[in-house]
Structure 1
Amino acid sequence: MKTTLTAGLEHTFSYRVPREKTVPFLYPESDLFREMPEVFATGFMVGFMEWACMEALRPYLDEGERTLGTMINITHQAATPPGMEVTARVRCIEVDGKRTVWEIEARDEADVIGTGTHERVTVNLDKFSARVAAKGKATKG
């Protein structure tokens, strides 16, 4: 990771919510999810917040690096119907080596829909993928 990354970095990222990112699509094999209203699912909102942080970090990554989410602490305060645009404003509040911490606020066109903090760690993608592959082989014994 480039040393030019410092706390205070801000980034804004927007996304129009499609029907496929609503609650019934989160775990379609579950009748409990399928029976819920079609609103932006918390699980997809979390992914959207991570995506915003990943985009903010993109210019600071070296060749072969990616970032992994390691902690998320958010609220989901308001429902968003499909078709609305959501916007995340992220601000880096800590850089500690390969670890970054982000403050996040997400809004739809009417309300604040979620706030919180998120931690990411920078890894070498090839090394990480090799560790995951080895773990998979070890469990298949």
Structure 2
Amino acid sequence: MRTPEIGTSHTLEYTVRPEDAATFDGEMIHPVYSTPSVVRTMERAARLALLPYLEEGEVGAGHEVHVIHRAPAPIGAHVRVTATITAHAPRRLTCTTVTNHGDRVIATGTVVQGIVAAADFRSRYEAAQDAPGPAPGAGAGHRDDPALR
């Protein structure tokens, strides 16, 4: 990974869709931007912040997410997610995120991406397809994974 500049930001504009609503077992619980959907757009904005720094043959993989979902945004709302690079290590990039609906902050958080060789990630993915998952807290992507050190 090329050295990213701390403070670099990427902003993503997004319109909340019905499939982004809080839904469980096929039933819409609330017609608002759900927390999992907020996390998905946080991760997307952080990925877009990372892309200019990846070297040939590298990929970013979600590693850690923290979110505080502060307020609702209805279906149809236009939200803005800004991911700002706040830290990096040889195989890791951290972004803070702020999600706004108009002038109101509806979510804040942190997204950490691991940087791995695409071939290694692909082989781990293929191995996972044929085997039961690792014990909780173990395996690819875990904070103790040597590939992310």
TM band (smaller chain)? 0.7 to 0.9
1:67 aligned to 2:60? yes
Between the aligned partners of 2:17 and 2:103, the Cα distance in structure 1 is 17
Out of 93-102 and 126-135, give the one that drifted further. 126-135
Q: Secondary structure at the match of 1:139?
A: coil
Runs of 4+ in 1 over 3 A off after TM superposition: none
Match of 1:12 in 2: 11
1:57 aligned to 2:50? yes
Instruction: Please report the TM-score for the alignment, with normalisation by the length of structure 1.
Output: 0.85
CA 1:42–1:104: 2 relative to 1, 3 Å: same
Offset at residue 37 of structure 1 (A) = 1.5
CA 1:124–1:94: 2 relative to 1, 3 Å: same
Match of 1:2 in 2: 2
**Contact preservation (8 Å) 2:67, 2:107:** yes
Alignment-mate amino acid for residue 80 of structure 2? T
5+ residue gaps, structure 1, are none
Between the aligned partners of 2:97 and 2:66, the Cα distance in structure 1 is 10
Between the aligned partners of 1:139 and 1:55, the Cα distance in structure 2 is 32
5+ residue gaps, structure 2, are 134-149
Between the aligned partners of 1:82 and 1:126, the Cα distance in structure 2 is 39
Between the aligned partners of 2:46 and 2:61, the Cα distance in structure 1 is 10
Structure having the higher helix fraction is 1
**Contact preservation (8 Å) 1:39, 1:79:** yes
Offset at residue 88 of structure 1 (A) = 1.0
1:99 aligned to 2:98? no
**Contact preservation (8 Å) 2:21, 2:28:** no
Offset at residue 110 of structure 1 (A) = 4.9
1:23-62 per-residue CA deviation (whole Å, 9 max, x = no partner) reads 12xx4xx16xx14111111001001000000011111112
Match of 2:71 in 1: 78
Count of paired positions: 133
1:38 aligned to 2:31? yes
Q: Secondary structure at the match of 2:46?
A: helix
**Contact preservation (8 Å) 2:50, 2:93:** no
**Contact preservation (8 Å) 1:6, 1:95:** no
1:62-85 per-residue CA deviation (whole Å, 9 max, x = no partner) reads 223221111111100111111111
Structure having the higher strand fraction is 2
